[in-house]
Amino acid sequence: MTIHTPDWVKHAVFYQIFPDRFARHPGLVEDYETMSPLNLEPWDAPPTPHGYKGGNLRGVTSRLDYLKDLGITAIYFTPIFQSACNHRYHTFDYFQVDPLLGGNEAFFEMLHAAHARGIRVVLDGVFNHTGRGFFQFHDIVENGFQSPWSNWFKVRQFPLNAYADDPKEHPPNYDCWWNLRALPTLNHDNPAVREYIMRVAEHWIRAGIDGWRLDVPEMITAKNFWQEFRQRIKTINPDAYIVGEVWVDARSWLDGEQFDGVMNYLFTKAALSFLGHEHLDRKVLHDNFKDLNLVDAATYARTIENILALYPKEILWTQLNLLNSHDTARFLSTVGINIHIAKLGALLLFTFPGAPCIYYGDEIGLEGHADPDCRRGFPEGKNWKLELLETYKKLIALRHREPVLSTGHYKTLVAKDMLYVFARVCAHNPSDAIIVATNNSASSVEISVPLEHCLPIGKNFSIIYGDGACDTERSSDCQMLRLKIPPFGGVCAK
């Protein structure tokens, strides 16, 4: 079977936005305040589980030029549909953008402005569960077994105790995500539910979005559900991106008939394992990373090779690679606020096969521990870590300038102690290659890297990223690249 994935994703740089926290357009807030004062948290105050800060989509529109200048070509939004929580994973209405975000009008203004700048937009599809305010669930709460929607959810007993005062004495009597009564699980075996979700997904693709990120897709086990989802979405837009939130080996979803890629948390975990030495703050690790072992370069190399061996190249090139997300502590905070390690993480991210995804604020050093702290408001410029921003700008520009970083072969060259060196090599032109070296130690390193097995003899190299140095040594049958890499530093040579 031939696997087809969207070509644009292979060359994309994504930016993940948590809408309540990225930017607040004051005009929209004032509109609401004329009706009733909004009870918003101060923008710079620590985020709380239930508080709103008032970020909105017109605020995003006002910052599109910033994203364009940064080099962003695609935005992934966490949920934007009407909901009763700041993260909006408790959906009320899948056809209406939340009024606090500006509603449908503000969304389409943003979508058109993004497209005009060459920035694509991917939305979060929360199709496993809804919020309690979802019309069909609310009807069951009111009318019990007589509700015409009673089989839209998996109800074990009537009446529903959706708002029990004591959840231990009165646990939910219907299926819900992680037994959280505020997140009732849809009955995907019901053809009406299945068709409803398909039509929601089709509606927004027809409206112009460029793809779906699918929340907890492994929870939906109805037969051929995701195969049908892909067929219906791709019929409307063959270039639409379908990416799943899967934290583990995702081969069962990446067979060419379901998703184009997944959020590549396998890469995230590997990068933390290698870069976390002497810096890792285990207290803030996500539960899925609690078993994380700190490793040397050789173990990291084997881990990466195992990850790369999981999927066909068409899938590798459309994975969504990330260092952190709205569900994890910030990478910078996880590695002890060490800017040098954050730079090394960014270097690994932007030189790895697949589309790099920046969680809003990573590029300016936004900190944050576990949820909700990882969802802080985007800070004012005076609080930016400009050294890190400059690194991100250079790496994004390098990624755009060098297609081999998007679709080139990946080959480990050296993995010793805390030194890791690899090559990205063009399949059709082996002389088009970039050598990437990372030194995760407190001492500078000088090393000779053998190149004869991956590159034609005769190629000269120079540093195109980083503060190290290089020169080339060659004989009739051998070529060596001599590299000097500073402590906790990284370089790219071409």
Last residue of a domain, one of 356, 376, 405: 405
Decide if pLDDT at 1 tops 80.
no
Same domain (yes/no): 313, 427:
no
Considering the domain boundaries, does residue 356 fall inside one? yes
- 201 in the same domain as 58: yes
Q: What is the pLDDT of residue 458?
A: 64
What is the pairing mode between strands 261-264 and 320-322?
parallel
Q: Which of 373, 405, 437 is the last residue of a domain?
A: 405
Q: Is 373 a catalytic residue?
A: no
Q: Residue 35: is its pLDDT beyond 80?
A: no
CA distance 289 to 281: 12
Are residues 173 and 195 located together in one domain of the fold? no
pLDDT at site 429 = 85
Are 165 and 240 members of one domain? no
- In tens, the pLDDT along 435-454 reads 999 999 999 999 998 886 66
Q: How many domains does the chain have?
A: 3
Q: Of residues 20, 124, 210, 215, which has the active-site annotation?
A: 215
pLDDT of residue 472: 85
Mean pLDDT, the chain, as a whole number? 94
Q: Is the predicted pLDDT of residue 117 greater than 80, yes or no?
A: yes
Provide mean pLDDT across the span 321-343.
97
pLDDT band at 101 (very low <50, low <70, confident <90, very high): very high
Give tens-digit pLDDT for 178-198: 999 999 999 999 999 999 999
Q: Tell the residue number behind the tokens 């053998």, with chain if given.
A: 450
Read off the CATH number of the domain in which 394 is found. Answer: 3.20.20.80
Percentage of the chain modeled with pLDDT above 90: 87
Same domain, 139 and 119: no
**Cα(419)–Cα(396) distance, integer angstroms:** 23
Question: Which structural domain range is residue 432 located in?
Answer: 408-493
- Exactly one of 210, 245, 260, 363 is catalytic; name it: 245
Gap between the terminal Cα atoms of the chain: 36
Closest by CA to 356, choosing from 54, 69, 56, 76, is: 76
Name the nearest CA neighbour of 334 among 286, 377, 391: 286
Average pLDDT over every residue of 285-295: 93
Whose structure tokens read 């800070």? 379
Q: How far is CA 238 from the centre of its chain?
A: 22
Given a contact cutoff of 8 angstroms between Cβ atoms, the answer to whether 89 and 183 are in contact is yes
1 falls within a domain: no
Tens of pLDDT along 364-416? 999 999 999 999 999 999 999 999 999 999 999 999 999 999 999 999 999 99
Burial 327-341 (b: 16+ CB within 10 A, else e): bbbbbbbbbeebebb
pLDDT category of residue 164 using cuts at 50, 70 and 90: confident
In the block, residue with structure tokens 């004495």: 169
Q: What is residue 25's predicted lDDT score, i.e. its pLDDT?
A: 87
pLDDT confidence bin for 31, thresholds 50/70/90: low
Whether the predicted pLDDT of 244 surpasses 90? yes
Closest to 465 (Cα-Cα) out of 350, 323, 337, 362: 350
Same domain, 325 and 336: yes
In angstroms, rounded to a whole number, what is the distance separating the alpha carbons of residues 333 and 135?
A: 40
The per-residue pLDDT for 306 is 98
Q: Is the pLDDT assigned to residue 8 strictly greater than 70?
A: yes
In a domain, 2, yes or no: no
- 417 and 400 within one domain: no
In a shared domain, residues 55 and 173: no
| Final residue belonging to a domain, choices 385, 405, 425 | 405
pLDDT of residue 105: 95
Asked if the model's pLDDT at residue 266 lies above 80, the reply is yes
Residue type, 344: L
Q: Note if 387 is an active site residue.
A: no
